[in-house]
Amino acid sequence: MTKIREVVVASDPTNHGALVGQVGESRFPVGGPDGVGHISSGPNPYDLLSASLAACTAMSVRFQARREKLPLERLEVGVSFHHGAQGERDSFERTLVLGGELDAQQRAFLLEAANLCPVGKILGIGADISTRLDAAISGRNASTQASYEDDLALLPIPNITPD
């Protein structure tokens, strides 16, 4: 049976209440609005979702490359999250950079491996995920990239002034 590790996010009283995530012994800042007009540094929840997809994709591709003994020397996975236009699904754009003496068939195989990533399967239920190889620049307009801060501002939460 695998051990499930809980992710905990809590305020840090030693750092003005900034949010800190913890998984096992790893600690990391969680960024975003702090409720009093400041933006805390660190990855926001959308960044963390994208990082989870990128990490899982990289592991899936690396695993398949090693299993098939492919000459993958370098791997880079970039992920960005975008809101869909009104009535359309949100989406993740995933870009793979594969280094090494790989032929077209091996690259296609590793692209398929990327699409088997378990986190991608979960996120794909509520959002579209497009994947491409070796693309350096996203074809999307940067203004459509999702903003966590803007989304929070749209929530129907009453403005509460801290003590």
As a whole number of angstroms, the distance between CA 76 and CA 30 comes to 23
pLDDT digits (tens, 9 = 90+) for 113-128: 999 999 999 999 999 9
Same domain, 86 and 37: no
- Could you please report the per-residue DSSP string of 28-44? EEE-EE-SSS-EESS--
pLDDT of residue 73: 96
Nearest Cα to Cα of residue 89 among 155, 144, 153, 148 = 144
pLDDT of residue 1: 63
Alpha-carbon 86 to chain mean position: 22
* Higher pLDDT among residues 162 and 14, named by residue: 14
109 pLDDT more than 70: yes
Domains contained in the chain, number: 2
Would you say residue 129 lies in a domain?
yes
Q: Which domain holds residue 15?
A: 7-42
Would you say residue 69 lies in a domain?
yes
Average pLDDT, the chain: 84
Helices (H), the chain: 45-67, 104-114, 118-123, 148-154
Beta bridge mates, 128: 91
pLDDT digits (tens, 9 = 90+) for 28-68: 999 988 777 778 889 999 999 999 999 999 999 999 999 99
pLDDT of residue 152: 61
Same domain, 104 and 24: no
Same domain, 59 and 117: yes
Split at pLDDT 50, 70, 90, the class of 139 is very low
pLDDT of residue 86: 85
Same domain, 65 and 124: yes
Same domain, 50 and 65: yes
Any idea what the CATH number is for the domain that residue 84 is in? Answer: 3.30.300.20
How are strands ordered across the β-sheet holding 127-133? 74-82, 90-99, 127-133
Same domain, 80 and 34: no
